[in-house]
C-alpha cells in the first residue's frame, strides 16, 4: 500500500483517478477502522490534509465554506459557524468521542455513506452543498444527493469532496440536530433528526426542512413533515402532526441497534424535540 | 516494498522513524519507538486508551497513520511529567486513588490534560462528557472525575 | 479457626489509612509494563485462525501454503498437542479446537511469523474444510430434546430422562418444605426472569510472550490473574513439569475473573517451541469478545411466598444457565447465593448447567450470583410492594444474622447484612424526595469469598528494608494493602516496606486472584510471615543481650526486653537488627504457606434512583449508594473503589450490555461500539458507605469486598425502573426499546 500526501488539489485528483483501489484520507476515523478490520485493502491512501484550503473555514456569500479536512472540534471552536448553524456543529460534535471529533470531518462522515451518520441529517436540513474536485474539474452537489445507498456515494472515480458549503442563515431562523442513542455518548445513532426552520414575526413557520437519519438506507428529507408545520405556530397540534409525519415516513429495519417499531416511534419524538429547539434558536432564545 | 521515512517531534524531541504505510501512529509509538505507555484497548477508536495529542489536539492514535505524523508535534503520556516532577493530574490521581488496574490511566490523563488546557474550570458534567471516549472498567469513573476537578481547582489557585 | 481477637480491637496505625500505592507512579507515567508491553529479541508475532461457524465439524485443515509463506516460522493445530490429563481436556479444546468448532470464534489454528502483516497473510492461506452443523445459542432452546447436541456422553447422573444431552448437570440446595411454605403465604409472586450474557469488559486484551528453549524449559510473560494457574495448566497441556515453566505476571489491565483461565498461552508456548523463537500474542478486541469467557445467559423461575406483614414463608428458584460450549457454568453459585441474605424456614433452589454454541463462560465477579439476585430480589420487591410494605423493612424482617442457617447450608458467624440495611435506612438517600418519572430501588447481595493456597515470603535487607514477595497479581491495589499489613505488623513506616509479585520460580503455589481472596488470604499470610520474622528478630536480640528468647517481645518496630526482670536493654530497632544479621546467624526472613480458611462472607445493600424518559424508554441513573460490609477496610480508598467499580459494571449489565447473536449463531456486537459498557457521562458519583463487622477468621477482621459489589445492582436498578415505569421488568438488559415496550403495555418487559 502506498501513502501519498499531495499539496495540490490537481495532484490529489490524478492520484485518485490514476489508481485502482485508491482511498481518500481526511480524519481517518472510518477509513482506519475499515483498514484494520480488512474490510478494504487499499492500494493507495491519498491524504488530503496538506492541500491548501482543506483545513479552513471561510465566510462565503453570507454562508460558510468549510474545507474537507476541518475537524468537528475545529467547527465547534468557530464562533461564526456556531452562531449560524448550531445544529450542524452539534451534529458533527456528536460523532464519537472528543478524540474522534479531533479528527472526524463532515465530508468523511458523508462519504462513508452510513444511513446513521450524525452530521448528514443536519447538513440536509441546512440545505448544504458539497464542492467536488475531479478529473473533469469542480462540480457542486446537494448533500442529500451524495449518498446513494449504504456504503456507496455519487462520487465518480478520481473525485473527492473538497469543501462543504452552508448557506446564509437568514433572519429568525434556527436549526437543531438530535439523535437517540442508548448511552449518553459513543453510540451510533439509532435515529437521527435534523431540522432547520424560519419563523415570521408571529412565530409561524415560514420555511422548514426536516431530515431523518438511520431510518432508511439513506438519510431522508421528509417534505410531508415540513408541510405539516409550515404556516403554523409550533403548538402541540403542529408538533403532533410533525411527529406523525416523521414516524410515517421512516422506513427503518430491525438490527442490533433498534427495532422497526422503536425507530418509527422515536423518529416522531425526536422531530418534536428538535423542532422546539430550532424554534427557540430562531427566536434568539438560548435553548 | 519500501518503508516510509517520517520526521516528527515526540514529547518535544525531534524523532525520525521508518514505518509501513498501513502502520498506525499507535503501532509506531509502541512497536517502533518503544513508547508503550500508550495502550491499545480496541483498535477502533471506541475506548480512548490510545489517546495522544497531535499539534495540541486530542486524538486516538489507533485511528491515525504513522505517516501522518510528518512535521507534527505529538504528545504522549511519557511527556506529561517533567523530569521527576509529575504533572498535577498525575499526582492527584495517585493521591485520590483514581486508578485501579491502570490500563486506561495514560489515555485518561492525556485527555484530562487536554481538557484543562482548554477549560480551566470545567463542571462535573463537562468533565464527564469530555472523558466519555475514555473507557474505564475498574473505577466506575467516580474518583477519576473527582481527581480531575480537584486538580483543576488546584491549578486555578496556583495560577 | 478463631484467631486472636486482640488484633482486631487494637488501634491500627497504618491499616485504615490511605497512603499512596507503590505502583502509582509507574501507572500514571506509562512506565508500568502490561501484557503487550514486553518484547524479546527475535520475537515473532503469533495470530490465531478462528472458526466463522457457530457449530461445525472440522473435516480437514491444510496448513501447507501458510507454512510455505516466507516469514512464517511455525504453524500449530490441535494435532501438535498430545493427550492431556482430563482436568485440562476442555481447556485445551477451547484453546485449540479438536474435531469440532463449537462457537463463532473458536480457535482452529495458529501461526507465528516475522511480522503482523505476514501473520495476517498466513492465516488467509490456511485451508479449513468445515461441515457446518445446526447450532443453538439460547439456554432454554438448548435444553429441548431436539436441540443440536454439542457433546455426547457428558451428561451427569443428576439429570433426569428426556432432556437434551446439552443439559449437563442438575443440583439442588435448601431446606424445609416449599409447598407447605407457599400455602402459608398470603400472596405468592411467581415469575420468570431472563438475563443476557455479558463480558467482564477489561480494557486490556489478553497478551503474552512465550519463549521456549531447545531443552524444553520455557518462560512466559503474561497478563493474568494467576500466573501459578497459568504455569500449572500450560505445563499439563504441553506435557511439561511445572518447574520447567517459569511464568512472570505482568501488570494486569483488568480481569474481573476473565483472566483466571488461559486462552492464548498454551498456543503461544507451542508456537515458540516449534519456531525456536519468542512468540508474542495479543488479542484484538473482537477476539476478546468472541473467544474469551463471557458470563452465562440465564433463564430463572422464582416463587416467593409472603404474608401480609412481610414474612417470607417460602423461597424457590429454578435456575438455567448456559456456560458456553463446555460444562461448568456458575449455576451452582447462583443457586447457593441467591437466598443467602435471608433467614428462611423453607427455601429451595435447583440449578441446571447447560451447554450451548457460545464461548466457554469464565468467572465474572461473583460468578453466577448477580443473575440469581436479580430474579430473587425483584420477586421479593414485588411481593413487598404488593402489600404496600417498605422494601428495606421487609429485608430486615427476613434478614440473616449470626446463627442463621444459610440457604446453602452453613450457619453464619457474625455477619454484616443487617448493618448494611440499617445504614441504608438511616441514610439521607433513602428519604430524599423523588420527582416525576423517577423511581427508587433497593436490593441486597452476597458473596462467599474464598481463601485458598497462598505463599508469602518476607525478607529483610541489610539496611532494614522489608520486601514482601507474594504470588497474586495486583488488580485492585492489593500491593498497597499487603505493604500496609506488613508495616502494621512490624511496627515500621509504610515506606520501609516493598511488596512484589514474585514469579512462579520463587514461590510454590498460589491460587488465582479471585474469590475476593487476596486481601484476606495473602494478607493473612503476610501477617503470619511478619510474625515469623519478628520471632526471629527477637531471637537475634536475645542473642545479643544474652537473655532467653522468651524474654524478648516486639513492639513499635523494635525488639524489647519483655518485662522489668528481663534486663535493662535499650530496644533494638528492625534496622539495627538487620545491620547485624550476618553476625547473628545470617539473613532474616519470615514466610508462611497455607490453604487459607476462614474467609468471611460479605453482604451489601444497594440503593439507586432512576429517571425514565417515557417517550424513548431511556433510563438515567440519578443517584447511587453502596452499603457493604468490609470486615476491616485496610485501605479505604481501594475498598470504595471496589464498591464503585462493581456497581458500575452492574449498571452496564442492567441497562445496556448484552451479547447479541444472529440466527446464524454469529456474534453481532464484538466491539466496544455495540457492546456498550458505561461511559463517564452515563453516571453520577457512586456514593459508598463502608460497614465493618470483623471477620473472625482474619487477624484484622478483613472480609473480601471485590465481588459482592456486582451482586445487588441488577435487581436494585430493575426495582427502581419497575417503580418508575409502573411495570415489572423481568428481562435484562433494560434497554430503551424494552422499557418503552413495557411502558406502552406491549409484550412482557
Residues A202 and A158 in one domain: no
Find residue C187's DSSP bridge partners.
Answer: C306
Under the banding of pLDDT at 50, 70 and 90, the label for residue B2 is: confident
Q: Are strands C297-306 and C312-322 parallel, antiparallel or unpaired?
A: antiparallel
Average pLDDT value for residue range C47-56: 98
Q: How far is CA B20 from CA A6, A27, B37, C115, in A?
A: 18, 19, 21, 11
Query: What is the predicted pLDDT for the residue at C477?
Result: 83
**pLDDT over 70 percentage in chain A:** 99
A183 → closest Cβ in C120, C679, C740: C679
Give the separation between CA C634 and CA C700, rounded to whole angstroms.
9
Residue of B nearest to C37 (CA): B36
Chain C hits for B93, Cβ within 8 Å: 24, 28
Residues of chain C with CATH 3.90.1170.50: 35-133+205-252+259-291
Chain A hits for C682, Cβ within 8 Å: 183-185
Give the separation between CA C67 and CA C76, rounded to whole angstroms.
10
Residues A152 and A18 in one domain: yes
Render pLDDT for C494-514 as a digit per residue (tens, 0 to 9): 999 999 999 999 999 999 998
Measured in whole angstroms, the distance separating CA C320 from the mean position of its chain's CA atoms is: 21
Question: Does residue C733 have a cis bond before it (omega within 30 degrees)?
Answer: yes
Residues A96 and A159 in one domain: yes
CB contact under 8 A, B137 and C202: yes
B64: closest CA of chain A, how far (Å) = 6
Residues of chain C with CATH 3.30.365.10: 3-32+451-596, 297-449+600-745
Interface test with B, best of A97, A112, A185, A187 (most B CBs within 10 A): A97
Residues A151 and A242 in one domain: no
Are C97 and C106 in contact by the 8 Å Cβ rule? The answer is yes
Are A178 and A193 in contact by the 8 Å Cβ rule? The answer is yes
C104: closest CA of chain A, how far (Å) = 17
Query: What is the predicted pLDDT for the residue at C746?
Result: 67
**Is residue A13, in this structure, part of any structural domain at all?**
yes
Residue of B nearest to C642 (CA): B139
B46 → closest Cβ in C251, C254, C671: C671
Give the separation between CA A66 and CA A57, rounded to whole angstroms.
5
Are C123 and C47 in contact by the 8 Å Cβ rule? The answer is yes
Are C652 and C730 in contact by the 8 Å Cβ rule? The answer is no
Residue of B nearest to A27 (CA): B64
Residue C8, pLDDT > 80, answer: no
CB contact under 8 A, B64 and A97: no
Render pLDDT for C356-369 as a digit per residue (tens, 0 to 9): 999 999 999 999 99
Query: What is the predicted pLDDT for the residue at C564?
Result: 79
C672 → closest Cβ in B46, B76, B78: B46
Residue of B nearest to A29 (CA): B63
Give the separation between CA C407 and CA C173, rounded to whole angstroms.
7
CB contact under 8 A, C673 and A269: no
Q: Which of B63, B66, B65, B116 lies closest to B87 in space, CA to CA?
A: B116
Q: Which of residues 82-101 of A touch B (CB under 8 A)?
A: 96-100
Give the separation between CA C331 and CA C224, rounded to whole angstroms.
24
**Is residue A63, in this structure, part of any structural domain at all?**
yes
Long-range contacts of C80-88 (CB under 8 A, 24+ apart): C80/C270, C80/C274, C81/C237, C81/C238, C81/C266, C81/C270, C82/C239, C84/C236, C84/C237, C84/C239, C85/C236, C87/C236, C88/C233, C88/C236, C88/C237
**Is residue A177, in this structure, part of any structural domain at all?**
no
Give the separation between CA C558 and CA C577, rounded to whole angstroms.
9
Q: The whole model's pTM is what?
A: 0.97
Q: C-alpha cell of A38?
A: 480488512
**Is residue A180, in this structure, part of any structural domain at all?**
no
Residues A35 and A150 in one domain: yes
CB contact under 8 A, B37 and C200: no
How big is chain A by its Cα radius of gyration, in Å? 19
Return the beta strands (E) in chain A as ranges.
Answer: 2-4, 22-25, 44-47, 57-60, 63-67, 129-134, 137-142, 147-149, 152-153, 160-166, 173-180, 191-199, 205-213, 220-221
**Other Cβ atoms within 10 Å of A75 Cβ, number:** 25
Measured in whole angstroms, the distance separating CA C178 from the mean position of its chain's CA atoms is: 32
Render pLDDT for C192-219 as a digit per residue (tens, 0 to 9): 999 999 999 999 999 999 999 999 999 9
Q: C-alpha cell of C742?
A: 413495557
Are C272 and C658 in contact by the 8 Å Cβ rule? The answer is no
CA C225, C255, C483, B39 dihedral sign is positive
Query: What is the predicted pLDDT for the residue at C5?
Result: 57
Find residue B58's DSSP bridge partners.
Answer: B53
C475 touches chain B (CB under 8 A): yes
Query: What is the predicted pLDDT for the residue at C748?
Result: 47
**Other Cβ atoms within 10 Å of C64 Cβ, number:** 10
Render pLDDT for C79-93 as a digit per residue (tens, 0 to 9): 999 999 999 999 999
Render pLDDT for B84-111 as a digit per residue (tens, 0 to 9): 999 999 999 999 999 999 999 999 999 9
Give the separation between CA C554 and CA C561, rounded to whole angstroms.
9
Helices (H) and strands (E) in chain B, counts: 5, 5
C41 touches chain B (CB under 8 A): no
Q: For A263-284, b where at least 16 C-beta lie within 10 A, e where not — what string?
A: bbbbbbbbbbbbbbbbbebbee
Interface test with A, best of B60, B75, B112, B125 (most A CBs within 10 A): B60
Residue B130, pLDDT > 80, answer: yes
Residue C350, pLDDT > 80, answer: yes
Chain A hits for C681, Cβ within 8 Å: 183-185
C740 touches chain A (CB under 8 A): yes
Any idea what the CATH number is for the domain that residue A218 is in? 3.30.390.50
Chain B hits for A45, Cβ within 8 Å: 21, 65
Residue C259, pLDDT > 90, answer: yes
Chain B hits for C252, Cβ within 8 Å: 101
Give the separation between CA C517 and CA C694, rounded to whole angstroms.
15
A237 touches chain B (CB under 8 A): no
Q: Which of C665, B46, C204, C98 lies closest to A186 in space, CA to CA?
A: B46
Q: Which of residues 158-217 of A touch B (CB under 8 A)?
A: 184-186
B22: closest CA of chain A, how far (Å) = 7
C677: closest CA of chain B, how far (Å) = 8
Residue with cell 510473560: C221
Any idea what the CATH number is for the domain that residue A37 is in? 3.30.465.10
Residues A107 and A196 in one domain: no
pLDDT averaged over every residue in chain C: 96
Under the banding of pLDDT at 50, 70 and 90, the label for residue C261 is: very high
Give the separation between CA C407 and CA C420, rounded to whole angstroms.
20
**Is residue A108, in this structure, part of any structural domain at all?**
yes
**Is residue A65, in this structure, part of any structural domain at all?**
yes
How big is chain C by its Cα radius of gyration, in Å? 27
Residues A159 and A195 in one domain: no
Render pLDDT for B25-72 as a digit per residue (tens, 0 to 9): 999 999 999 999 999 999 999 999 999 999 999 999 999 999 999 999
Query: What is the predicted pLDDT for the residue at C2?
Result: 43
Residues A141 and A34 in one domain: yes
Q: Which CATH architecture has domain C35-133+205-252+259-291?
A: Alpha-Beta Complex (3.90)
**Is residue A112, in this structure, part of any structural domain at all?**
yes
Residue of A nearest to C741 (CA): A262
Interface test with C, best of A94, A99, A183 (most C CBs within 10 A): A183
**Of the residues A114, A135, A166, the one at which a domain ends:** A166
- What domains sit in chain B, N to C, each tagged with a CATH number? 4-79 (3.10.20.30), 88-158 (1.10.150.120)
B58 → closest Cβ in A32, A102, A185: A102
Query: What CATH number has the domain spanning C3-32+451-596?
Result: 3.30.365.10
C678 touches chain A (CB under 8 A): yes
B131 touches chain A (CB under 8 A): yes
Give the separation between CA A215 and CA A193, rounded to whole angstroms.
10
ipTM score over 0.95, yes or no: yes
C323: closest CA of chain A, how far (Å) = 23
Residues A127 and A198 in one domain: no
> Which residue positions in chain A have pLDDT lower than 70?
287
Give the separation between CA C9 and CA C134, rounded to whole angstroms.
62
Pick the CATH number of C297-449+600-745 from 1.10.260.30, 3.30.365.10, 3.40.50.620, 3.40.50.300: 3.30.365.10
Domain count, chain A: 2
With a CB cutoff of 8 Å and minimum separation 6, the contacts of C521 are C450, C451, C452, C454, C511, C594, C596, C599
Residues A18 and A123 in one domain: yes
Chain C hits for A183, Cβ within 8 Å: 656, 676, 678-679, 681-682
With a CB cutoff of 8 Å and minimum separation 6, the contacts of C281 are C45, C46, C47, C48, C206, C207, C208, C209, C210, C264, C267, C268, C271
**Is residue A182, in this structure, part of any structural domain at all?**
no
**What is the residue range of A218's domain?**
189-282
Give the separation between CA C536 and CA C150, rounded to whole angstroms.
58
Residues A117 and A243 in one domain: no
Angle C314-C319-C325 from CA coordinates, rounded to 5°:
170
Return the beta strands (E) in C614-724 as ranges.
Answer: 618-629, 686-691
Are C486 and C499 in contact by the 8 Å Cβ rule? The answer is yes
Residues A160 and A118 in one domain: yes
Amino acid at each position: 500500500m502506498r501513502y501519498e500526501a499531495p499539496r495540490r488539489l490537481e495532484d490529489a485528483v490524478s492520484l485518485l483517478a490514476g489508481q485502482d483501489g485508491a482511498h481518500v484520507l481526511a480524519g481517518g476515523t472510518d477509513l482506519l477502522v475499515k483498514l484494520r478490520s480488512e474490510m478494504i485493502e487499499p492500494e493507495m491512501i491519498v491524504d488530503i490534509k496538506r492541500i491548501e484550503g482543506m483545513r479552513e473555514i471561510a465566510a462565503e456569500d453570507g454562508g460558510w465554506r468549510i474545507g474537507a479536512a476541518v475537524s468537528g472540534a475545529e467547527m465547534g471552536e468557530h464562533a461564526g459557524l456556531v452562531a449560524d448553524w448550531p445544529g450542524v456543529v452539534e451534529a458533527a460534535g456528536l460523532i464519537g468521542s472528543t478524540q474522534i471529533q479531533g479528527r472526524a470531518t463532515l465530508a468523511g462522515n458523508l462519504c462513508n455513506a452510513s444511513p446513521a451518520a450524525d452530521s448528514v441529517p443536519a447538513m440536509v436540513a441546512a440545505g448544504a452543498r458539497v464542492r467536488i474536485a475531479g478529473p473533469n474539474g469542480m462540480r457542486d452537489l446537494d448533500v442529500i444527493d451524495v449518498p446513494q445507498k449504504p456504503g456507496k456515494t455519487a462520487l465518480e472515480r478520481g473525485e473527492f469532496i473538497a469543501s462543504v458549503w452552508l448557506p446564509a442563515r437568514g433572519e429568525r431562523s434556527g436549526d437543531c440536530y438530535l439523535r437517540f442513542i442508548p448511552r449518553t455518548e459513543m453510540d451510533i445513532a439509532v435515529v437521527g433528526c435534523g431540522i432547520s426552520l424560519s419563523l415570521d414575526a408571529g412565530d409561524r413557520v415560514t420555511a422548514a426542512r426536516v431530515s431523518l437519519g438511520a431510518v432508511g438506507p439513506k438519510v431522508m428529507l421528509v417534505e410531508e413533515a415540513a408541510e405539516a408545520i409550515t404556516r403554523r405556530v409550533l403548538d402541540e397540534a403542529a408538533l403532533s402532526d410533525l411527529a406523525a409525519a416523521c414516524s410515517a415516513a421512516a422506513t427503518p429495519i430491525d438490527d442490533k441497534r433498534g427495532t422497526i417499531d422503536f425507530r418509527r416511534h422515536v423518529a416522531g419524538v425526536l422531530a418534536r424535540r428538535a423542532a422546539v429547539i430550532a424554534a427557540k434558536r430562531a427566536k434568539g432564545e438560548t435553548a | 516494498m519500501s518503508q516510509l521515512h517520517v520526521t516528527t517531534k515526540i514529547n518535544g524531541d525531534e524523532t525520525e522513524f521508518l514505518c509501513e504505510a498501513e502502520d498506525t501512529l499507535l503501532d509506531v509509538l509502541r512497536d517502533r519507538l518503544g513508547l508503550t505507555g500508550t495502550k491499545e484497548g480496541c483498535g477502533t477508536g471506541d475506548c480512548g486508551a490510545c489517546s495522544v495529542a497531535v499539534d495540541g489536539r486530542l486524538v486516538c492514535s489507533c485511528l491515525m497513520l504513522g505517516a501522518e505524523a510528518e512535521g507534527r508535534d505529538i504528545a504522549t503520556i511519557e511527556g506529561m511529567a517533567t523530569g521527576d516532577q509529575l504533572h498535577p493530574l498525575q499526582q492527584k490521581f495517585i493521591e485520590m486513588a483514581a486508578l485501579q488496574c491502570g490500563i486506561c490511566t495514560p489515555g485518561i490523563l492525556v485527555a484530562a490534560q487536554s481538557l484543562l488546557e482548554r477549560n480551566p474550570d470545567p463542571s462535573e458534567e463537562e468533565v464527564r462528557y469530555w472523558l466519555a471516549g475514555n473507557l474505564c472498567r475498574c473505577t466506575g469513573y467516580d474518583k477519576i472525575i473527582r481527581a480531575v476537578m480537584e486538580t483543576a481547582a488546584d491549578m486555578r489557585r496556583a495560577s | 479457626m478463631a484467631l486472636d481477637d486482640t488484633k482486631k480491637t487494637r488501634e491500627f496505625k497504618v491499616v485504615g489509612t490511605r497512603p499512596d500505592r507503590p505502583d502509582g507512579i509507574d501507572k500514571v507515567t506509562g512506565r508500568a509494563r502490561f501484557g503487550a508491553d514486553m518484547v524479546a529479541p527475535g520475537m515473532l508475532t503469533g495470530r490465531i485462525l478462528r472458526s466463522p461457524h457457530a457449530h461445525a465439524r472440522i473435516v480437514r485443515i491444510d496448513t501447507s501454503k501458510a507454512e510455505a509463506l516466507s516469514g512464517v516460522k511455525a504453524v500449530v493445530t490441535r494435532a501438535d498437542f498430545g493427550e492431556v490429563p482430563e482436568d485440562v481436556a476442555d481447556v485445551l479444546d477451547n484453546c485449540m479446537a479438536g474435531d469440532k468448532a463449537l462457537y463463532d470464534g473458536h480457535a482452529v489454528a495458529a501461526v507465528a511469523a516475522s511480522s503482523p502483516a505476514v501473520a495476517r497473510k498466513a492465516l488467509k492461506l490456511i485451508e479449513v474444510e468445515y461441515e457446518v452443523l445446526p447450532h443453538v445459542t439460547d439456554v432454554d432452546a438448548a435444553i429441548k430434546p431436539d436441540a443440536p447436541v454439542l457433546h455426547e456422553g457428558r451428561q451427569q447422573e443428576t439429570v433426569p430422562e428426556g432432556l437434551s444431552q446439552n443439559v449437563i448437570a442438575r443440583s439442588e440446595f435448601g431446606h424445609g418444605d416449599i409447598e407447605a411454605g407457599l400455602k402459608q403465604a398470603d400472596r405468592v409472586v411467581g415469575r420468570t426472569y431472563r438475563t443476557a450474557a455479558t463480558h467482564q469488559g477489561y480494557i486490556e486484551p489478553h497478551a503474552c510472550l512465550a519463549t521456549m528453549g531447545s531443552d524444553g524449559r520455557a518462560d512466559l510473560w503474561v497478563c493474568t490473574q494467576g500466573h501459578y494457574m497459568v504455569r500449572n495448566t500450560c505445563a499439563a497441556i504441553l506435557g511439561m513439569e511445572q518447574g520447567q515453566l517459569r511464568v512472570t505476571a505482568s501488570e494486569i489491565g483488568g480481569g474481573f475473573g476473565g483472566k483466571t483461565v488461559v486462552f492464548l498461552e498454551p498456543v503461544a508456548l507451542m508456537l515458540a517451541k516449534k519456531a525456536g523463537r519468542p512468540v508474542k500474542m495479543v488479542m484484538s478486541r473482537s477476539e476478546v469478545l468472541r473467544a474469551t469467557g463471557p458470563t452465562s445467559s440465564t433463564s430463572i423461575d422464582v416463587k416467593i411466598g409472603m404474608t401480609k406483614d412481610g414474612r417470607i414463608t417460602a423461597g424457590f428458584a429454578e435456575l438455567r444457565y448456559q456456560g458456553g460450549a463446555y460444562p461448568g457454568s456458575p449455576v451452582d453459585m447462583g443457586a447457593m447465593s441467591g437466598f443467602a441474605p435471608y433467614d428462611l424456614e423453607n427455601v429451595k433452589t435447583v440449578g441446571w448447567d447447560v451447554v450451548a454454541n457460545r464461548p466457554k463462560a469464565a468467572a465474572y465477579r461473583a460468578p453466577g450470583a448477580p443473575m440469581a439476585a436479580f430474579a430473587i430480589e425483584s420477586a421479593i420487591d414485588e411481593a413487598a410492594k404488593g402489600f404496600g410494605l417498605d422494601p428495606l423493612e421487609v429485608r430486615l424482617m427476613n434478614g440473616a444474622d449470626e446463627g442463621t442457617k444459610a440457604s446453602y447450608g452453613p450457619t453464619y458467624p457474625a455477619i454484616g447484612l443487617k448493618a448494611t440495611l440499617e445504614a441504608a435506612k438511616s441514610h439521607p438517600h433513602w428519604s430524599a424526595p423523588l420527582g416525576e418519572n423517577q423511581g427508587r430501588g433497593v436490593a441486597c447481595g452476597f458473596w462467599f469469598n474464598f481463601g485458598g493456597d497462598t505463599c508469602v515470603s518476607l525478607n529483610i535487607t541489610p539496611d532494614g528494608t522489608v520486601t514482601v514477595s507474594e504470588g497474586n497479581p495486583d488488580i485492585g491495589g492489593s500491593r498497597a494493602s499487603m505493604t500496609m499489613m506488613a508495616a502494621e505488623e512490624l511496627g515500621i513506616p509504610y515506606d520501609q516496606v516493598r511488596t512484589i509479585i514474585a514469579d512462579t520460580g520463587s514461590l510454590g503455589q498460589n491460587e488465582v486472584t479471585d474469590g475476593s481472596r487476596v486481601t484476606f488470604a495473602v494478607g493473612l499470610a503476610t501477617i503470619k510471615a511478619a510474625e515469623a520474622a519478628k520471632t526471629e528478630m527477637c531471637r537475634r536480640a536475645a542473642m545479643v543481650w544474652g537473655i532467653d528468647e522468651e524474654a524478648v517481645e516486639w513492639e513499635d518496630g523494635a525488639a524489647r526486653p519483655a518485662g522489668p526482670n528481663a534486663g535493662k536493654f535499650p530496644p533494638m530497632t528492625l534496622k539495627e537488627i538487620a545491620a547485624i544479621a550476618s553476625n547473628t546467624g545470617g539473613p532474616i526472613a519470615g514466610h508462611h504457606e497455607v490453604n487459607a480458611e476462614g474467609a468471611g462472607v460479605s453482604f451489601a445493600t444497594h440503593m439507586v434512583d432512576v429517571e425514565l424518559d417515557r417517550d424513548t424508554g431511556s433510563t438515567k441513573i440519578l443517584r447511587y449508594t453502596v452499603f457493604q460490609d468490609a470486615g476491616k477496610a485496610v485501605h479505604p480508598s481501594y475498598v470504595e473503589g471496589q464498591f464503585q467499580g462493581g456497581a458500575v459494571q452492574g449498571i452496564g449489565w442492567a441497562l445496556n450490555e448484552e451479547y447479541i447473536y444472529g440466527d446464524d449463531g454469529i456474534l453481532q456486537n464484538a466491539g466496544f461500539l455495540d457492546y456498550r459498557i458505561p461511559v463517564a457521562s452515563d453516571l453520577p458519583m457512586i456514593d459508598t458507605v463502608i460497614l465493618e463487622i470483623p471477620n473472625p477468621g482474619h487477624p484484622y477482621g478483613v472480609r473480601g469486598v471485590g465481588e459482592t459489589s456486582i451482586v445487588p445492582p441488577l435487581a436494585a436498578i430493575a426495582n427502581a425502573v419497575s417503580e418508575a415505569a409502573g411495570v415489572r421488568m423481568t428481562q435484562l438488559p433494560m434497554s430503551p426499546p424494552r422499557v418503552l415496550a413495557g411502558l406502552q403495555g406491549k409484550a412482557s418487559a
